[in-house]
Amino acid sequence: MTKVVLNFKTYAESTGMAALELSRICEEAAEQYDVEMVVVPQIADIRLIAENVSIPIYAQHVDGVGFGGYTGHITAASVKAAGASGTLINHSERRLKLAEIEAALSSCKAEGLATIVCTNNIATTKAAAALKPDFVAVEPPELIGSGIPVSKADPGVVTGSVEAVKRIEPEVGVLCGAGISRGEDLKAALELGSVGVLLASGIIKAKDQKKALEDLLSGIQR
Amino acid sequence: MTKVVLNFKTYAESTGMAALELSRICEEAAEQYDVEMVVVPQIADIRLIAENVSIPIYAQHVDGVGFGGYTGHITAASVKAAGASGTLINHSERRLKLAEIEAALSSCKAEGLATIVCTNNIATTKAAAALKPDFVAVEPPELIGSGIPVSKADPGVVTGSVEAVKRIEPEVGVLCGAGISRGEDLKAALELGSVGVLLASGIIKAKDQKKALEDLLSGIQR
Amino acid sequence: MTKVVLNFKTYAESTGMAALELSRICEEAAEQYDVEMVVVPQIADIRLIAENVSIPIYAQHVDGVGFGGYTGHITAASVKAAGASGTLINHSERRLKLAEIEAALSSCKAEGLATIVCTNNIATTKAAAALKPDFVAVEPPELIGSGIPVSKADPGVVTGSVEAVKRIEPEVGVLCGAGISRGEDLKAALELGSVGVLLASGIIKAKDQKKALEDLLSGIQR
Amino acid sequence: MTKVVLNFKTYAESTGMAALELSRICEEAAEQYDVEMVVVPQIADIRLIAENVSIPIYAQHVDGVGFGGYTGHITAASVKAAGASGTLINHSERRLKLAEIEAALSSCKAEGLATIVCTNNIATTKAAAALKPDFVAVEPPELIGSGIPVSKADPGVVTGSVEAVKRIEPEVGVLCGAGISRGEDLKAALELGSVGVLLASGIIKAKDQKKALEDLLSGIQR
């Protein structure tokens, strides 16, 4: 099933009660379309959403540390306890050291959390795939928040990532991010070989979040 | 009133439901002793505790960013929405750049969150005080988790910090951390001029957390 | 004597042999004007310049570590051995954690290196001054490389920094950076109470570096 | 030819004039044994050694930035200008973000510098190999500086790395690091499939550096 992952970032329109409201919109939309809809709120908002909504919730970040003296870090155990079932790792706005990515993946596997490692080009996609996350989401940084979909601006980075991942770890799924907001962007992303998309501002900053999300999801042939 | 701040770090004994249990122990103890008891759980646990316990909850860390494209960061707005009324900043296990400390303090002031900036010696205490947080908590890193109280191992760092802060920003309170777990440690910390203590493993890893906390708080003359 | 500090950054126009050429221009200019001219090349270029030029050379960065297992770090001892007599610390393009700034200052003092801590506003200037470097250079990040001199765009940040430093550690000198390239900018900076300036692109990227530098230095009344 | 890479770290015994002295010892040893001996001094020491010694010199670290406003960073162009012909990247004491490793490799390739990416286990070795450096040096962090050779303590990490690299990018060479100091360690490392070793304290902190190096190199059958 197509995976549609909505990263809430730290926008006002997706913090606290607004995060809950947006998650409800996502939940409704997920019922209408044949899609796995995932919401990715701030860490502090995970529990609020988990208590009220039943679609999967991913954390925006997990540190590669476990139980112990790690004040201020985000552990896999804590986000799972709050209700998350997966997490982004190494988002372009929260890049990690290579060894930290690997440690975070280990922690997540131990806790049973699904993992999406974000990358910026084909080379880093290959490196990330070699670490065997569940998904890699390739997002050229210059397109993030641009409104220009990667599937149009640089389709080669998607097809190249899909091919490279197939060669290195074929069971890793490729998601396509950066600049995606409309139904045709999603459709193009799937046609390029990705199994889903990673979204953010295109939906969250839309005047009508519900309408924007529905427009996007309409790109999937039922 | 003496401020007793318990940092939950990421210990198993203070994550998820265990964090709630420990917070209840702290709430009870706070009623028995003339003390402002503050719990500092992981970010993902703030809401669970806020929904069930009425003593102040501080975050372990806040990043110096606001609303926007800051995936994976901890914003003052999000921890406040979850129920926190303050935060640690620059803990020795989550050190920040100088400009980030200043930005985090600005965010927290805008949201009305109380702030405790952690420092490692007199020089950094002076620098932190110049930024006007509500509190500075001085913790020589080599004593953290050691069981050797700073008030005994290095009382000069406490008195020196108190004096330096008085000269630079007298309204900033000095807390005393590192190695504190018993009533006599707390008493000594107050006698050296601090207005409270920052604790962690001495209580959290104790066989009987409740008893350990009561032993500590008994150091305060009622 | 007015201190004029030229940060070479990593521009092509100030790397390797070009760094040596530019240093010679600075040396000649320093003889003509009543000014302490300091060049700040990349770490790898320090020795080349020290072997050929006799004006002071500062490093662009020093880490707060000493002898030991610190692969890839820049130690005070190594830049001194190469011929540097001082260093920038915490430049906006190489921000450090508060504890690292303090440790770097200690290393530099032990090696007899002069220190300039860079800051971004009055609050961080106060914090930096509390650590007692030789100089603080205040540079609002939004003006760096802008061509708009801080002395014109935001004179209050300079006078406010000068006043704040006078109150906290009066022996610390305030330098003024960001957007400075012409004689009138330098003159204005001195009139606002700074003891010198920190420059970069305005000189380095100038079509005629020598002419640009002379125009700048002409701002000093002989 | 077997590659023997000696990381000088920031030890007093390998800084400034001592770094030159040690490089001369390495140069002599390289002539006696059938080995490619590489010295890896601090950035500020590269030029001094390049001016006096003719064996290959690698930098300890290169940042993934090029010409521009990157104060305090180490560029491939600057270390090349100083005389380096290669570099370590991502040493365990100077870990980089994944995207930074990729950017540093691109810079180095553009400048014609040889690259050794350091990793901590088989998983990160695979990820690093996918980025196509010239070499990967696998060093379990707990063995660095331990005196216990990885070839003895954890031979599986070496053979596993060699196999994994062969599958992902067969032209990448595997070096073996951590705890290696004697001839038998080197011999074992080669037998496990590595093409050389990365050394540090075992030689640098030896009472007699020359003798320690000769003992090590004697492990290679002439």
Q: What is the DSSP string of D84-136?
A: -SEEEES-TTS--BHHHHHHHHHHHHHHT-EEEEEESSHHHHHHHHHT--SEE
For the segment C6-59, what is each residue's pLDDT rounded down to a tens digit?
999 999 999 999 999 999 999 999 999 989 999 999 999 999 999 999 999 999
In Å, how far is A100's CA from the nearest CA of chain B? 14
Report the share of chain B in percent with pLDDT over 70. 99
How buried is D34 (Cβ within 10 angstroms: 0-12 exposed, 13-18 middle, 19+ buried)? exposed
Q: Is D82 on the interface with C (CB under 8 A)?
A: yes
State residue D39 phi and psi, 5-degree precision: -105, 145
Cβ atoms A138, A120 nearer than 8 A = yes
CATH of B2-217, one of 3.40.30.10, 3.40.50.2300, 3.90.1150.10, 3.20.20.70: 3.20.20.70
Q: What share of chain C is helix, strand, coil (3-state, %, to 5)?
A: 45, 20, 35
**Residues 6 or more apart whose Cβ sits within 8 Å of residue D64:** D96, D99, D100, D101, D102, D103, D104, D105, D106, D107
Distance CA B105, CA B115 (A): 7
List A residues 95-154 in contact with D (Cβ-Cβ < 8 A): 95-102, 105, 119-121, 123-124, 126-132
Please determine, for residue D222, whether its predicted confidence score (pLDDT) is greater than 50.
no
Distances from the Cα of C112 to the Cα of A116, C65, C109, D123, angstroms: 49, 15, 5, 44
Per-domain boundaries in chain A: 2-171+179-217
Q: Would you state the structure tokens that stand for residue A65, as one six-digit string?
A: 């540390």
Active-site residue set of A: 91, 139
Average pLDDT taken over every residue of chain A: 93
Residue where the block lists tokens 């379990």: D140
Tell me what pLDDT residue C159 has: 92
pTM of this structure: 0.94
Question: C-alpha angle C29/C31/C37, rounded to 5°?
Answer: 60
Contact across the interface for C123 and B131, Cβ inside 8 Å: yes
Q: Which amino acid is at D62?
A: V
Distances from the Cα of A93 to the Cα of A7, B140, C110, D213, angstroms: 12, 32, 38, 45
Comparison of pLDDT for C220 and D89, the residue scoring more:
D89
Coil, helix or strand at residue A88: strand
Distance between first and last Cα of chain A: 11
Nearest Cα neighbor of C113 from C38, C51, C168 is C38
Pairs from D162-168 (Cβ < 8 Å, separation ≥ 24): D162/D192, D162/D193, D162/D194, D163/D193, D164/D122, D164/D125, D164/D126, D164/D129, D165/D125, D165/D126, D165/D129, D165/D136, D168/A130, D168/A168, D168/D126, D168/D129, D168/D130
Best of B98, B115, B124 to disrupt the C interface by mutation (most C CBs within 10 Å)? B98
Contact across the interface for D77 and C12, Cβ inside 8 Å: yes
Comparison of pLDDT for D68 and C219, the residue scoring more:
D68
Q: Would you state the structure tokens that stand for residue B56, as one six-digit string?
A: 């102040």
What number is the average pLDDT over the span C180-201? Answer: 90
Cβ atoms C63, C82 nearer than 8 A = no
Comparison of pLDDT for A42 and D177, the residue scoring more:
A42
Tell me what pLDDT residue A221 has: 63
Average pLDDT taken over every residue of chain D: 93
Strand B135-138's sheet: what is its strand order?
B35-40, B2-7, B196-199, B173-177, B135-138, B114-119, B86-89, B58-59
Strand locations in C35-183, DSSP E? 35-40, 58-59, 86-89, 114-119, 135-138, 173-177
**Residues 6 or more apart whose Cβ sits within 8 Å of residue B80:** B111, B112, B113
Cβ atoms A147, A207 nearer than 8 A = no
Contact across the interface for A98 and D97, Cβ inside 8 Å: yes
Distance CA C132, CA C121 (A): 17
Rounded to the nearest 10 degrees, the angle between the axes of helix A17-32 and helix A209-217 is 30
Cβ atoms D68, D94 nearer than 8 A = no
Neighboring chains of C (3 or more beta-carbon pairs < 8 A): B, D
Comparison of pLDDT for A71 and A179, the residue scoring more:
A71
Contact across the interface for D120 and A99, Cβ inside 8 Å: yes
Contact across the interface for B129 and C130, Cβ inside 8 Å: yes
Q: Which amino acid is at A144?
A: I
What number is the average pLDDT over the span C176-182? Answer: 84
Cβ atoms C198, C221 nearer than 8 A = no
Residue where the block lists tokens 């770094």: D19
Please determine, for residue D145, whether its predicted confidence score (pLDDT) is greater than 80.
no
Q: Is B87 on the interface with A (CB under 8 A)?
A: no
Question: C-alpha angle B92/B98/B100, rounded to 5°?
Answer: 90
Residue of C nearest to B129 (CA): C127
Please determine, for residue A88, whether its predicted confidence score (pLDDT) is greater than 80.
yes
Q: Which amino acid is at B53?
A: V
Q: Would you state the structure tokens that stand for residue C130, as one six-digit string?
A: 């509390």
Beta pairing partners, D175: D137, D196
Tell me what pLDDT residue A222 has: 46
Report the share of chain B in percent with pLDDT over 90. 79
List B residues 41-70 in contact with C (Cβ-Cβ < 8 A): none
Contact across the interface for C95 and B97, Cβ inside 8 Å: yes
Best of C90, C96, C98, C132 to disrupt the B interface by mutation (most B CBs within 10 Å)? C98
Out of D21, D27, D139, D171, the active site residue is D139
Residue A168 CA from chain centroid, whole number:
21
Cβ atoms D9, D27 nearer than 8 A = no
Contact across the interface for B130 and C121, Cβ inside 8 Å: no
Tell me what pLDDT residue B128 has: 97
Closest CB from B71, B78, B93 relative to A45: B78
Tell me what pLDDT residue B2 has: 93
State residue C69 phi and psi, 5-degree precision: -90, 75
Residue where the block lists tokens 């961080």: C124
Nearest Cα neighbor of D178 from D205, D204, D151, D215 is D151
**Residues 6 or more apart whose Cβ sits within 8 Å of residue C20:** C45, C48, C49, C52, C53
Tell me what pLDDT residue B221 has: 63
Looking at domain A2-171+179-217, its CATH class is alpha beta
Average pLDDT taken over every residue of chain C: 93
Residue C70 CA from chain centroid, whole number:
25
Q: Is D168 on the interface with A (CB under 8 A)?
A: yes
Neighboring chains of D (3 or more beta-carbon pairs < 8 A): A, C
Residue A41 CA from chain centroid, whole number:
10
Distance CA A45, CA B43 (A): 9
ipTM of the complex: 0.94
Q: Is the dihedral of CA C158, C163, C169, C170 positive or negative?
A: positive
What number is the average pLDDT over the span D14-26? Answer: 97
Please determine, for residue A85, whether its predicted confidence score (pLDDT) is greater than 90.
yes
For the segment C95-140, what is each residue's pLDDT rounded down to a tens digit?
999 999 999 999 999 999 999 999 999 999 999 999 999 999 998 8
Q: Contacts of residue C45 in chain D, CB cutoff 8 Å?
A: 78, 81-82
Give chain B's residues under pLDDT 70: 221-222
Residue of D nearest to A132 (CA): D123
